[in-house]
A and B are shown apart, each in its own frame.
Chain A
Amino acid sequence: MSIFEYAPAPESRAIVSLKPSYGLFIGGEFVDGSGSFKSISPSSEEVLAEVAEASEADVDRAVAAARKAYEQVWGKMSGAERAKYLFRIARIIQERGRELAVLESLDNGKPIRESRDVDIPLVAAHFFYYAGWADKLDHAGFGASPRPLGVAGQIIPWNFPLLMLAWKIAPALACGNTVVLKPAETTPLTALLFAEICQQAELPPGVVNILTGAGAAGAALVAHPDVDKVAFTGSTEVGRIIARTVAGTNKRVTLELGGKAANIVFEDAPVDQAVEGIVNGIFFNQGHVCCAGSRLLVQESISEEVLESLKRRMSTLRVGDPLDKNTDIGAINSAEQLARIKELTAAGEQEGAEAWSPPCELPSRGFWFRPTIFTGVSQAHRIAREEIFGPVLSVLTFRTPAEAVEKANNTPYGLSAGIWTEKGSRILAVADQLRAGVVWANTFNKFDPTSPFGGYKESGYGREGGRHGLEAYLAH
């Protein structure tokens, strides 16, 4: 028991009024689906709402609604007019930011500090940013008058539910496309609240359609012949299936898949900030981050000191109620994901790596995993190769910069990487050699709508965000 214990500081749930059940959002209104499933709160296993399950016929209806809206309204509308709607949506997101943050934390399990200070502000920023592009597409560098593609089928993951929705919908709409979006099975609720925001903004019916459901609904959406463009964020495994499905069709595809990022700490790093960066890199959002810095590569000469500092810092992490404003690490999103984390960490111990976690009490209900680091990890261990997608860090050491680069690149993935050094020339030299779509220098997990994001190799293709993010939604 320390001297200064923080009393519980829970954010009120009262701001969110959930309906007992939700339909599918097709053609501007909520309609019944074919089946239904429940969305639970991963921190308490409490049922939050019942949600419709989309069938193949529902996918058909949604794509037809999107096609109609594209041909009759949205595709013809001037960029300046489309921008007005997007600006309106962005402002409503800001106004209802608290409500969206609380619901995101309830449904996903992430701490309110992150949904409030990171997710939702970035969601609004994305809509503002792409609203600004809508009437300037002629000058975006994709030809004199680039055209929209038509109907976009979009499938998003559960780790940043509303943020991934924004990454997909904002550029698509700005470019004049209409969308059918399927949120993840375990986190559909903020997407449904977003559907209400579309109604509030008087967005023309059919421009945005939201289908809740599981993998079958997503597969039907990807395979639908009237979908012109597929955008997916999720696992490499599902990404492969999607690539196979669309092969030989005219559909355009962007895939944002897994990662196993190296966070490289050189001996001349600003050590205290590097430790913060390591913590942020792997424990942000419970490690449910495709670009998480899940492999720490630390230079031998400072490895002991860095590890000691890291362990001390990890002992101050506050694990618990996602709605408590002082929580640093929330709940694991689902029982299934928790099982996968447990399976991989067990493999790590069997293969001889040494696990360490700070002492911390975990709630008795819900899905939880202690922040964990593995030392004595070698490149051949599964925990150094496979994406764990949880609060688990594998620590490896290196002696020379060349060895660091070799280890960092020795993975089928290539989404992100981090470099920590006070030497500017080293940042440039190492960044140049890393095969990763995003390289952060002396920081980690920083996102901005103006900055493109995407991977090399098995981390996918295409870029989202920034001017580059427009290309995926324009014919040119």
Chain B
Amino acid sequence: MTVATTPSAATLAEVTRSNAALRAFLHGLPGVDKVGADARAATLGTRSIKTTAKALAIDLAISMVDLTTLEGADTPGKVRGLANKALRPDPLDPTCPPTAAVCVYPSMVAEVARVVKGSPVKIASVATAFPAGQASLKVKLDDVRDAVRAGADEVDMVINRGAFLSGRYLEVFEEIVAVKDACGDARLKVIMETGELVTYDNVRRASWLSMLAGGDFIKTSTGKVQPAATPPVTLIMLEAVRDFLAVTGRKVGVKPAGGIKTSKDAIKYLVLVNETVGDGWLDPHWFRFGASSVLNDLLMQRSKMKTGHYSGPDYVTLD
């Protein structure tokens, strides 16, 4: 636990009583030195993952992918195709693990459910007026209920960045609490849109705020804003979930999303997980990649590991 004034679980309930108390708590968290955090992430980026370790990392990464399509042009056919790919990423190799989930807009949840129902693949849906979050709370909550009713196991919400950046922390907190309530049994992933939060101090504060409000996962980005996930931002979020577990006993997952394109990228993130929080998060239940194109690169690397040669993009499915 690295919070300077070690809060107990009981005092944590106190800090959400007023905006002033919440602000005092969040601003009392230890600062993040940007140069140091960037340097740590860069050093871990030089780890050399080869042979058996690489094979293991690739399969683990595949099993952690939230295979995502969030386009205006999404069609039921495209979404069904993606869901099938999630079940059998490599149709020619039954030893290839399925992805963790398929992530779509609420209107597509039912389509995904038709394909993956009864399988280990989860259905994730973005909600709360994704990606901008610019709608009334009522509309956001209806969006969430819609998704859950259609069969979503997981809901990816966006926080109110305007309220966060102007210091209205309690407003952000209460919104997350309301969304969590609307989720029912579905797990809630809280998207902080770290590219808009800009500073690492803000990333740490938003992480704690999201966890205090009941988020099951903290997630970097919508994928619609640059920069999306970066290794140092993910490092800071991993430190936050580690410290939150130590204080409260509650474990929260982490999901970097956007900008993870290659197997090399994915493996770098797994190294971050391994050396920051360890085995406890090396599990699709607790760590996810929000990505789409990375899956094909992982599959190509996987077949290279098995066969000794690169197959090329014609041998993986384009969805």
A binding-site residues for B, Cβ under 8 Å: 2-9, 113, 117, 267-273, 276-277, 301-302, 305-306, 308-309, 316, 325-326, 422, 442-443
Contacts and interface: CB of A to CB of B under 8 A. Distances in A.
Interface residues of B, number: 35
Interface of B: 1-4, 6, 30-33, 35-37, 39-40, 46-54, 56-57, 60, 236, 239, 270-271, 274-275, 278-279, 282
Contacts of B278: 2
Contacts of A273: 32-33, 35-37, 40
12 contacts: A4-B279, A9-B48, A9-B49, A269-B30, A269-B31, A270-B36, A272-B40, A302-B4, A305-B4, A422-B31, A442-B33, A443-B35
The 10 closest A-B pairs by CB, nearest first: A273-B36, A9-B48, A325-B48, A270-B33, A273-B33, A7-B53, A422-B31, A271-B30, A271-B2, A7-B51
A9 B46 contact: no
A325 B40 contact: no
A270 B4 contact: no
B30 A270 contact: yes
A235 B36 CA distance: 31
Chain A binding site: helix, strand, loop or mixed by DSSP? loop
Contacts of A3: 56, 60, 274, 279, 282
B35 A9 contact: no
A68 B277 CA distance: 62
B32 A270 contact: yes
Nearest to A112: B48
A366 B274 CA distance: 29
Given A4-B60, A271-B30, A305-B2, A277 B279 contact: no
Given A4-B274, A9-B48, A272 B4 contact: no
A9 to B, nearest CB: 4
Contacts of B46: 113, 117, 325
A301 B4 CA distance: 8
Given A270-B31, A276-B39, A326-B48, A5 B4 contact: no
A301 B3 CA distance: 11
A4 B30 contact: no
A5 B51 CA distance: 11
A267 B2 CA distance: 11
B286 to A, nearest CB: 12
A306 B33 CA distance: 16
Nearest to B281: A3
B1 A308 contact: yes
A443 B36 contact: yes
Given A269-B31, A309-B2, 15 more contacts: A5-B53, A6-B53, A7-B49, A7-B50, A7-B51, A113-B46, A270-B31, A270-B32, A270-B36, A273-B37, A305-B2, A305-B6, A325-B46, A422-B31, A443-B35
